[in-house]
């Protein structure tokens, strides 16, 4: 069972799109942070500040990165990168459990 | 910003009701555990093994405990107890962010 040890978790959730996308922030001793989140089926668009690595823990979604013309499909075990200061679109097909790492 | 420090968090989410209720497990150094979760609007029924204290961080829901005849309304900042080995019904009116503490 994959776990993050010796971390700090912010109690309150981050919520977007009327709660269809939610996450909680995990702070690591080295100053880095990740969010662990859930996306219900639906279509969403997000913007980044820092670059992100999105790891899909379960579910299925299609992703279109800014400036690209091809939607890519990701399922549990997959990961994709999103550049800093960009936008990306998501079509969540099956409830997605994810871990987002911020490269700051 | 309320945080849990020096904890272990299980990476993968717990999901119920097609992802409309999800949570993540937080393990404390003293052996206790809590879950931090989200409930989308809807009606749900849950059973307990251990007794629980449900703290509502945000949102609004109505709760009917097993053996009771009155639904109680809870909103952000409220908490309620659920006995061990019992069932309880929930009507979530506004997306609920919660922290559940297990008394084991």
Tokens 């823990």 -> residue: A57
Of the candidates A10, A19, A40, the beta carbon closest to that of B1 is on: A10
pLDDT score for A104: 78
Note whether A25 and A55 are within 8 A (CB): no
Name the residue with higher pLDDT: A6 or B1: A6
Burial label for B96, CB within 10 Å (0-12, 13-18, 19+), is buried
What tens digit of pLDDT does each residue of A21-45 get? 999 999 999 999 999 999 999 999 9
- State how far the Cα of A14 lies from the Cα of A31, in Å rounded to an integer: 19
Going along chain B from its start, the domains and CATH numbers come out as 8-103 (2.60.120.10)
Low-confidence ranges of chain B (pLDDT < 50): none
Query: Is the backbone of residue A20 left (phi > 0), alpha (psi -120 to 50) or beta?
Result: alpha
DSSP secondary-structure letter at A41?
Answer: S
Phi and psi (nearest 5°) for B19?
85, 0
- A1 has pLDDT over 80: no
Q: Report CB contact under 8 Å: B9, A12.
A: no
Q: If phi over 0 gives left and psi between -120 and 50 gives alpha, with beta otherwise, what is residue A91? A: beta
Q: Using the 8-state DSSP alphabet, how is residue A19 labeled? A: G
Structure tokens, A10: 């912010």
CA B69 → CA B1, B28, B48, distances in Å? 37, 35, 19
Give yes or no for A40 touching B (CB within 8 A). yes
Count the Cβ atoms, other than its own, within 10 Å of residue A61.
Answer: 26
* The pLDDT of residue A12: 98
Mean pLDDT value of segment A44-70: 96
What average pLDDT does range A6-29 have in this prediction? Answer: 98
H helix runs in chain A, sequence order? none
CA of B18 to nearest chain A CA: how many angstroms apart?
7
Decide if the complex's ipTM is over 0.90.
yes
Least CB–CB distance from A11: residue in B3, B10, B12: B3
| pLDDT in the model for residue B104 | 79
């Amino acid at each position: 069972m994959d776990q993050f040890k010796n971390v700090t978790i912010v109690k309150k959730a981050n919520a977007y799109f009327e709660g269809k996308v939610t996450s909680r922030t995990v702070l690591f001793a080295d100053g880095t942070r990740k969010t662990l989140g859930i996306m219900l089926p639906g279509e969403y668009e997000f913007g980044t500040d820092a670059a992100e690595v999105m790891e899909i823990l379960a579910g299925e979604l299609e992703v279109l990165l800014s400036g690209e013309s091809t939607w890519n499909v990701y399922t549990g075990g997959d990961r994709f990168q999103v550049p800093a200061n960009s936008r990306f679109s998501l079509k969540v097909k099956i409830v997605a459990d994810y871990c987002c790492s911020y490269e700051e």
